Amino acid sequence: MGRYFQEEIETASREQIEKWQNEGLLDVVKRVYENVPYYRKKMEEAGVTPDDIKSAADLPKLPFLTKDDLREAYPYDLMALPLKDCVRIQSTSGTTGRRVVDFYTHNDIDMWENGCARAIVAAGGDDEDVVQVSYGYGLFTGGPGLNGGSHKVGCLTLPMSSGNTDRQLQFMTDLGATILCCTPSYASYLAESIHERNIKDKIKLKAGIFGAEAWSEEMRHDIEDRLGIKAYDIYGLTEIEGPGVAFECAEQEGMHICEDYFLPEIVDPDTLLPVPDGEIGELVFTSFAKEAFPLIRYRTKDITYITREKCKCGRTHARIHRLMGRTDDMLIIKGVNVYPSQVEEVLIKHGMPSNYQLVVDRVNNSDTMEVNVEMTPEMFSDSVADITKKEKEIVNALKSMLGIYAKVKLVEPKSITRSEGKAVRVIDKRKI
């Protein structure tokens, strides 16, 4: 299969990519204006018609779309095609408010699976591989997306879904899985379980495709060392299609966006004005190739920066840097902006396993942050003095990274509930 799943597309010239995007944008703006009253109203309110949009340079004239719009339009009001043309829905876990639902035509699914297939090939996969898909299946996009991509590449696909670690490890060893797809926190848990069962020599994995939640470079190295694999980042969101919107190649220098389907922008989250390449801001997507549920200028709330320089791998599609947090999961503690990923970086640098939880509270009108982090079984047998010393070391490191005091508690191995999907890293009691 070579190094690319769709070489001509993945290595197309920038002129070609821009042509796809300009044409795609004109087409999608016209489609939604004519077929989706919700969009037409938004565009009318912004005083813009399809005639005002000549190329991607006109994007700033178009109104943004947010999760609130999706909730308001739930379930059918943003559909751009009649129901009879749609063949599938997927949805977010929807912990607050209404669920977000995405609709797909046959072509939409095809495009989604192409993105996932590109990710698998970029991670070194081909038709000789055995791909264990341990993302959840069902409404969540992780399982179905990677499953479809794996079929397209011609890999033997193990549709495991998440959970049941004993069964995961049995299939992984019996069938000789070579590529693992799951959340980074579950990969970390599987690595721990493999170590405990002393079955590392039975594991044939060479690569992992991990995403759906924030993880740090330190966590990547930790998983790579423990599983003896190369770990690749993959990004996506239900609203746009699911995993495979962007994916990493062997260079591990950012994730290539499937720019033949999606038009990315980075905007300043406060002013909402576009920022130049290389500057950090909020990622915004226009999914111009989508048929059933195209979104225009959708604010992801994810923070990153973009580069359009050609990658050493030969791919020309723009790359986003590893996600740096969300505008809304940023915690403000004593007036300081804190991202859970910063805490994770410190913990891993200090040799702590990646299972941790931040508990934020407000005591006597003052914010408090407690970091509970599990010890490794080896540390657990250390003396109380050693454990206290380690706690102090982490308190100091957090203080110099964040500028605020956080209480650190090393807790027993396995005492923090394991997640089989996305990890719950923050308990913010201030909101309750």
* Contact set with ligand DLL (CB under 6 A): 92, 135, 141-142, 211-214, 233-238, 242-243, 300, 302, 323, 326
Amino acid of residue 336 = V
CB of 243 to ligand DLL, least distance (A): 4
Q: Which residue carries 């991509």 as its tokens?
A: 149
Nearer to ligand DLL, 135 or 305 (CB): 135
CB of 222 to ligand DLL, least distance (A): 16
Residue-wise over 181-214: b if at least 16 C-beta within 10 A, else e?
Answer: bbbbbbbbbbbbebeeeeeeeebebbbbbbbbbb
Which residue number, 256 or 390, has a Cβ lying nearer to ligand DLL?
A: 256
Nearest distance in Å: CB 389, ligand DLL: 33
Least Å distance between CB 141 and ligand DLL? 5
CA contacts within 13 A on the Cβ side of 121 = 23
Helices 142-153 + 106-122 axis angle, to 10? 70
User: What 8-state DSSP symbol labels residue 75?
Assistant: T
Helices 217-227, 184-197: inter-axial angle, 10-degree rounding: 30
* Closest separation in Å from C-beta 91 to ligand DLL: 9
* Contact status, residue 360 vs residue 427, Cβ threshold 8 Å: yes
Please report, as a single letter, which amino acid is at residue 259.
E
Nearer to ligand DLL, 31 or 319 (CB): 319
Output the smallest distance, CB 269 to ligand DLL, in A: 14
d(CA 284, CA 298) in angstroms, rounded, equals: 5
Beta carbons within 8 Å of 302's beta carbon, 6+ residues apart:
235, 237, 282, 283, 323, 325, 326, 327
Compare residues 242 and 254 and give the one whose CB is closer to ligand DLL: 242
Question: For the packed helices 37-45 and 14-35, what is the interaxial angle rounded to 10 degrees?
Answer: 100
Looking at the DSSP bridge assignments, the partners of residue 89 are 103
C-beta closer to ligand DLL: residue 165 or 341: 341
DSSP 329: T
Q: Which is nearer to ligand DLL, 108 or 233 (CB)?
A: 233
CB of 354 to ligand DLL, least distance (A): 14
- Cβ atoms of 287 and 241 closer than 8 Å: yes
Q: Which CB sits closer to ligand DLL, 22 or 141?
A: 141
Element (H, E) at 97: none
Nearest residue relative to ligand DLL (C-beta): 211
How many beta carbons lie within 10 A of that of residue 65, not counting itself?
A: 22
CB within 8 Å of 73: residues ≥ 6 apart: 38
Which CB sits closer to ligand DLL, 27 or 213? 213
User: Half-sphere exposure (CA, 13 Å, Cβ side) for 290?
Assistant: 27
CB of 378 to ligand DLL, least distance (A): 30
Smallest gap from Cβ 134 to ligand DLL, in A, equals: 11
- 145 vs 353 by CB, closer to ligand DLL: 145
User: Hey, which bits of 61-147 come out as E strands?
Assistant: 88-91, 101-104, 130-133
